[in-house]
Structure 1
Amino acid sequence: MSLYDDTVLVLKGYEDQEELRQAYLEHLETHPDGLWKACADGHITASALVLDPERGRVLLTLHRKLRMWLQMGGHCEPGDATLAAAALREATEESGIAGLSLLPGGPVRLDRHPIPPPCHRHLDVQYAVVAPPGAVQEISDESLDLRWFAYDEVADVADESVVRLLEAARARL
């Protein structure tokens, strides 16, 4: 199965945010290249919020280009077998933490947002991952900083999309 086919199946199986889910599916139907950064009309991205439920905290990255505290995530790559694998790869690369595990049940949320050129628009499929006990993060080239925040601190540092993602991920736990 191709990444495109997997993404369509994931979106068809996602049971929340009906209007946005349908917009993502229509985007893919209209744009066979809608998974790739080269799609000028926007593209699907995969992200994951890194959780440490035992300590009640999340790991956020201070994004180098956007200068915002965000979850880990980014563009799909040709080697990604599934959308979930893309989210897990991005979370692992950007957090430096080996042994992350996806929360079961597929995506936690969808979030469509504008991005500065050349990308213009991301149609983000958001997952959540759990860090193993004793996980130590390591900053990547894509981050200015990488920091753990208590659940109740997230609203003070991140925008509403990250707050909503955290709420959905905690509900899934």
Structure 2
Amino acid sequence: MSRLHADAERVLGGWTALDDHQERHRRRFLHHLAQHPDGMARECFPDHLTAGALVLSADGTEVLLNLHGKAKRWFAFGGHCEAIDQTLAGVAHREALEESGLPRLDFDPVPVMLDEHAVPFCDPRGTVAHLDVRYVAVAPAGVGHAASEESLDVRWWPVDALPDGLEDDMHRLVALARARVLG
């Protein structure tokens, strides 16, 4: 995973944060990578980098979310880095395709947002922090989707009628993704 680690350092080192909060995340993620050669791997405890993508409809009016099997909440697609991954954007793209069942995506390779969140069910040793690098993808019109084995459901939601209980960071991700895609 050394190539993936180097890519993450390059991507985060060159990424321009939109605000002070995002800049603190960016510095935190880079510090983590500097301290942990294994910082991309799920085995890195208690923190490791993850990547994912928010999938928008072609017209930007809907967002595709998955009802996470363990968390029982609606999220964008994403997950752990694997040995086959070469780039951070590649992790997010792979995860979005695998978890959405979509055959293809128009993928933006520049992160749109960073987020750190605690995950109590990720590691038997205890709660871990996912240092999540989030991207944007657009689903071509008319393609079908399907839930993966990790999800209870995958569903399109109108951006003005997102599911109840959706976390604030997900609302912000939707807004940032739409601004990126719609200009």
* 8 A Cα contact 2:48 2:130, kept in partner: yes
> What does residue 96 of structure 2 align with?
91
Structure 2's unaligned 5+ residue stretches are none
* 8 A Cα contact 1:155 1:163, kept in partner: no
SS at match of 2:66: strand
* TM alignment of 1:12-91, pairs within 5 A: 12-16=13-17, 17-54=22-59, 56-91=61-96
SS at match of 2:67: strand
SS at match of 1:46: strand
- TM-score, normalised relative to structure 2: 0.90
* 8 A Cα contact 2:58 2:141, kept in partner: no
1:51 maps to a residue whose letter is: L
- TM-score, normalised relative to structure 1: 0.95
**How far did residue 41 of structure 1 move?**
2.1
RMSD: 1.4
Q: Deviations over 1:5-52 (max 9, x none)?
A: 100011011111211100000001111111000001210000100110
Percent identical:
46
> What does residue 105 of structure 2 align with?
100
2:115 to 111, 125, 131: 111
Equivalent pairs counted in the alignment come to: 172
**How far did residue 91 of structure 1 move?**
0.2
Distance in 2 between residues matched to 1:86 and 1:98, nearest whole Å: 16
Distance in 1 between residues matched to 2:44 and 2:63, nearest whole Å: 31
Moved >3 Å (runs of 4+): none
Structure 1's unaligned 5+ residue stretches are none
